[in-house]
Amino acid sequence: MKQHLRLDITHPALFPEVAELLRRLPLDILYHQKYPFRHPAAIYQLSLSQIAMDIIRVLRSRAALRSGTGAGDVSEQLAQSQRILIYSLREHLDDCQMILMCLVDPAMVTAKGNGPDEFLKAAGLTERKQFWDTVHVYADTYLMPIVNALKHSQGRFRTVRFDCSASDIRLGFYLEEVDTKGVAQPAGNLHNGNSASSYDRDIRRNLGAVFRAAEGLRMAIEAILKRLDRSPLATPEGAEITARVWTEMCKQVATIGLGIFPQEVKKPFVRFTLMETGGLKIRVLDKDPQLSFPKDPVRCTTITSGDGMTTSYRMPYAFGNQPKI
């Protein structure tokens, strides 16, 4: 089994290592007030808090839909929760780059471009690459295609439910787009037109990406400190990090089920495990042997929403339109 990522989070509040590093940056190498931005540690804390609240919102909506009450309304609520989370994840990548901007004097950059990414390119901050190397696959193949579809082609999240047994109910989503013939269907570049994503895998993937981004940010900042021949402060600035929302969210994600969808059985999977020491173990496996999908017939339900004009819909897993396991 190939492992893509191995992290042991030992912070009492389960924060990434970079959270403490940001509190130890020498003040004389920071330019956040010239932009003006918050302190890098504050930028990061606010960003993680937003993601934590949005993941918890998805988890609660998912639990409500599993209970079977108010399916239509709750399904729409779940779709909206997922939409909010996706936008927050995109903003988080910008927030990480804002932190790197705090280590660049804006007065020394002439062509500043649009957004943090363009600014860092114009500034010639070579350490930017160390950050992007950890997140570009996630951003290019998952996050940005979804964001672009939501923003530019009215993509909509639709709910898929597998009733495998009375106790095995699996929920997921697909991003619905319209093809050249006007048929509303799962987005081809994300679902190959015939599948959907389970929330149990997707939530883990997204949180795993946040921790991966944290590692990239840490490596980039440490490289900058080395280039400047500086060291982190011995005593951290600001208040001690004790964010309960983030900690609770991580614990919830570590204990959700393994309700993956048929085509996800052999795909990479992020494992979160609570350690006896109170830490969090993160392992990204190329293939997790504990994943499975029932071979017996199951009931698959899709919950979509009409727009008053579209008359043709292609649902995932329907009419022989099934991905191989």
- Non-local (6+) Cβ contacts of 38 within 8 A are 32, 46
The phi and psi torsions of 309 (rounded to 5 degrees) equal -130, -40
Q: Do residues 216 and 227 make contact, with C-beta atoms less than 8 angstroms apart? A: no
How far is residue 85 CA from its own chain's centroid? 8
Q: Where are the domains of the chain?
A: 3-313
* Per-residue pLDDT, 320: 54
The pLDDT value given to residue 1: 41
pLDDT of residue 2: 43
> What is the structure's pLDDT at 190?
87
Task: Determine the 3-state secondary structure of 260 from DSSP.
Answer: coil
| pTM (2 d.p.) | 0.94
pLDDT of amino acid 192 = 80
Residue 282: CA count within 13 A, CB half-sphere: 24
The span from the CA of 176 to the CA of 189, in Å, is 11
Alpha carbon distance 253, 281 (integer Å): 12
**Burial letters 148-171, b for 16+ CB under 10 A, else e:** ebbeeeebbbbbbbbebeeeebbb
d(CA 174, CA 193): 9
Check if the beta carbon of residue 265 is closer than 8 Å to that of residue 291.
Answer: yes
The C-alpha atoms of residue 33 and residue 95 are separated, in whole angstroms, by 16
Question: How far, in Å, are 24, 194, 201, 243 from residue 239 at the CA level?
Answer: 12, 49, 34, 11
Ordered strands of the 269-274 beta sheet? 3-9, 280-285, 269-274
Per-residue pLDDT of the chain (325 residues; tens, 9 = 90+): 444 678 999 999 999 999 999 999 999 999 999 999 999 999 999 999 999 999 999 999 999 998 876 566 889 999 999 999 999 999 999 999 999 999 999 999 987 778 899 999 999 999 999 999 999 999 999 999 999 999 998 999 999 999 999 899 999 999 999 988 999 999 988 888 789 999 999 999 999 999 999 999 999 999 999 999 999 999 988 877 766 899 999 999 999 999 999 999 999 999 999 999 999 999 999 989 999 999 888 999 988 888 899 889 988 987 555 555 4
Beta-carbon count within 10 A of 74 CB: 20
Amino acid letter for position 177? E
